[in-house]
Chains A and B, each alone.
Chain A
């Protein structure tokens, strides 16, 4: 992985809590990561691991209350998104950072035409007039592979299929040529063939436009095919981070290893059941004082109950730039693993 280029996005020590009647839920705990220009960072983890909350915290899209961003920095081009005024932040949302959400069926406003919704950020951020915005909107719809874009511009969301709507969402997110595209499980609500189409589309757009992408998913199969680098999250923190090949070849965290085992395979002996990770992810009612994964971990030992492991580099690179893991347990070297 090339090191030098300045990151487009750098997040340091992000902490987000939800204030509820039953107390605080510590959803994001000291998350740090960076995103290099043109890079695709995959973020994996099961539901409730803090993936979406982390990304939405960056743009302060979580309703507050109950969400409360306690600390941290999110530097985009050197400016801290978390310290900005609302007005400054609105100039970033949709312009410098595009967001694609999980469910295309509900993420578009049902009573406005698609054209209207695609043109909104163009008029707001690019200072276009209606005619310019319309021309650009047609371009965008064609870019994301919507045939007959000119006519489709005047149609309403209910006249589109789920896959088509997600293409429109992508067009909206890319409208102002953002530096960063955050895709929050954009294929989860779609069926498999459409998922593949959307993945292809994003790969192609990335080649054409060269923006950096954060791709949130719980599907490691998707990540393997698309990401440069992977960040595994659990209990609201980053438990492992590595370039994609390294992660798949040499997973360090027991959670990552367990996740990899759960991927169903077509080859090999037929297994009677799908593999699962036993147990439930923790409900984070108090700050983590021990490893959040310990209850489900097969390598649990005394240290796991005493302290929450910090991220440590395993290849000597700076944390976040090479391969790092937050675990007390030392995974055996690759050669030993093969024998085990």
Chain B
């Protein structure tokens, strides 16, 4: 298993290099100019100077290699400096956003916690809701509960988040007044009071996204359970005199979880990508909103860096999913 993981990590290096090249070229060759954000009142010669200072005029291969060096060497060094107070990366050029003229990783570091708290919680809530629904729906197939679960999943699938989000705002924020309509990004959790406030402002975006996540995962769980409930080994377990609880929650569930865990693991990178619409709707100042802003402003380093981070996460979680698969299913051995 360890050799497998190491081998996969090694294979990931050329894969990621290729992805980085594709991302860099795609973003760089797209029409548009970083100068478009500079006000028209700025004289052309100043404008040219600004562009030069940004490094936009360098040949593309120089910029690519520089970006790679910054991404894999200078930024990690900066990270080490920030944590341990050292100064390895002193004086080195970091990846700078065209728009804000500040380091891209600094901005990401500011935005990511918002996204992770809200969307990560939503994903977790979605999974926690989905698994029991899926398990019980399958165990009592075609029961009233199962029908309700099916309708719930259909709604979660088919109703877009901008609709459920707006609906939630109207019902829970405007009519009932339980939750604030807007997410306050400046809120800092320092005591019980502010923690409650944080929970209240998270509730609606988490519910909206959690519903959508739960819909998909509960269906996977249900069908996987159904597939396993009819297996011969389930009859064997019953013939041994085991309780229904043991039969379903030990024998059937362990087998059914194998594909579902993979699906859940592969969905995790999307948490980091944020949920653009939901973030916008509730005013969560997260990664999703930032990405849109960067694309509009032709902020190439920001877009390239974010896209590449997503690529790394996807490769990483693919690997994690494969390893989990091997851990859960003894029939799969990678060595």
Residue B57 CB within 8 A of the other chain: no
Contacts of A91 in B (CB 8 A): 241
Q: Is the CB of A172 within 8 A of B232?
A: no
Q: List which A50-109 residues lie within 8 A (CB) of chain B.
A: 59, 61, 90-95, 98-99, 101, 103, 106-109
Interface residues on B, range: 20 to 34
Query: Can you name the residue of chain B whose Cβ is closest to the Cβ of A172?
Result: B240
A109 to B238: give the CA distance in the assembly, Å: 12
A91 to B243, CA, bound (A): 10
Distance to closest chain B CB from A61 (angstroms)? 6
Specify which of B237, B239, B330 lies most central, judged by the most chain A CB atoms within 10 Å of its CB: B239
**A112 at interface (Cβ–Cβ under 8 A)?**
yes
B233 engages A125 (CB within 8 Å): no
Question: Is B243 a contact partner of A90 (Cβ separation < 8 A)?
Answer: yes
- Per the 8 Å Cβ criterion, residues 115-143 of B in contact with A are none
Q: Does residue B251 face the partner (Cβ distance < 8 Å to A)? A: yes
Flag if A120 contacts B235 (CB, 8 Å): no
Contact with A109, one of B239, B241, B251 (Cβ below 8 angstroms):
B251
**Residues B331 and A109 in contact, CB atoms below 8 Å apart:** no
- A90 CB to nearest B CB, Å: 5
Residue-by-residue, is B232-267 near A (CB-CB < 8 Å gives 1, otherwise 0)?
110111111111001000010011001000000000
Cβ contacts under 8 Å, B254 to chain A:
109, 111-112
Collect the chain A residues with CB atoms within 8 Å of residue B186's CB: none
Minimum distance in angstroms from B203 CB to a CB of chain A = 38
Cβ of A326 to closest chain B Cβ, rounded Å: 30
Whether the pair B255, A109 counts as a contact (CB closer than 8 A) is yes
CB-CB contacts below 8 Å: A115-142 with B: 120-121, 124-125
- B329 at the A interface (CB under 8 A): yes
Measured between beta carbons, the chain B residues less than 8 angstroms from A169 are 236
Residues of A within 8 A of B232 (CB): 101, 103, 106-107
Contact B331 A61 (CB under 8 A): no
Identify the closest chain A residue to B234 (Cβ): A109
Q: Are B331 and A120 in contact (CB under 8 A)?
A: no
The residue of chain A having its C-beta at the shortest distance from the C-beta of B332 within the complex is: A158
Nearest CB of chain A from residue B165's CB, rounded to whole Å? 40
- Closest-by-CB residue of B relative to A87 is B243
Closest beta carbon of chain B to A147's beta carbon, Å:
21
Given A109-B251, A111-B329, A112-B254, also A93-B231 (CB < 8 A):
no
A111 pairs with B239, CB closer than 8 A: no
Contact A101 B241 (CB under 8 A): no
The docked-state distance in angstroms from the alpha carbon of A91 to that of B254 is 24
- Contact count band on A: 20 to 34
Question: Are the C-beta atoms of B239 and A99 separated by less than 8 Å?
Answer: yes
Neighbouring A residues of B13 by C-beta, 8 Å: none
In the assembled complex, A110 has its CB within 8 A of some CB on chain B: yes
Contacts of A92 on B, CB cut-off 8 Å? Answer: 241
Report the minimum CB–CB distance from A178 to chain B (whole Å): 10
Query: Residue B235 contacts which of A101, A111, A112, A125 (CB distance < 8 angstroms)?
Result: A101
Mark contacts of B25-57 with chain A using CB atoms, 8 A cut-off: 1 yes-contact digit, 0 otherwise.
Answer: 000000000000000000000000000000000
A110 touches B240 (CB 8 A): no
Say whether B328 faces chain A, with CB atoms less than 8 Å apart. Answer: yes
Partner of A93, one of B239, B255, B258, B330: B239
Q: With A and B bound together, what is the CA distance between A22 and B233 in angstroms?
A: 29
Residues of A within 8 A of B238 (CB): 61, 93
Chain A 165-192 against B: per-residue CB contact (8 Å), 1 yes, 0 no?
0000100110000000000000000000
Q: Which of B240, B242, B255, B329 has the largest number of chain A CB atoms within 10 A?
A: B240
Contact A172 B330 (CB under 8 A): no
- B-side contacts of A121, CB under 8 Å: 240-242
Contact of A111 among B236, B241, B242, B330 (CB under 8 A): B330
Contacts of B231 in A (CB 8 A): 106
Chain A residue at minimal CB-CB distance from B252: A109
Residue of B nearest to A109 (CB): B233
Contacts of A110 in B (CB 8 A): 233, 255, 329-331
Does A329 sit within 8 A of B, measured CB to CB?
no
Q: List 11 A-B contacts (CB under 8 A).
A: A61-B239, A92-B241, A99-B239, A103-B232, A107-B233, A107-B235, A107-B236, A108-B236, A121-B240, A121-B242, A156-B330
In the A-B complex, the 5 residue pairs with the closest CB atoms: A94-B241, A93-B241, A94-B240, A99-B239, A106-B232
Known interface pairs A112-B251, A169-B236; 20 further A-B residue pairs with C-beta atoms within 8 A, sorted by A's residue number = A61-B238, A93-B240, A94-B239, A94-B240, A94-B242, A101-B235, A101-B236, A101-B239, A107-B235, A109-B233, A109-B254, A109-B255, A110-B255, A110-B330, A111-B330, A120-B240, A120-B242, A120-B246, A124-B240, A172-B240
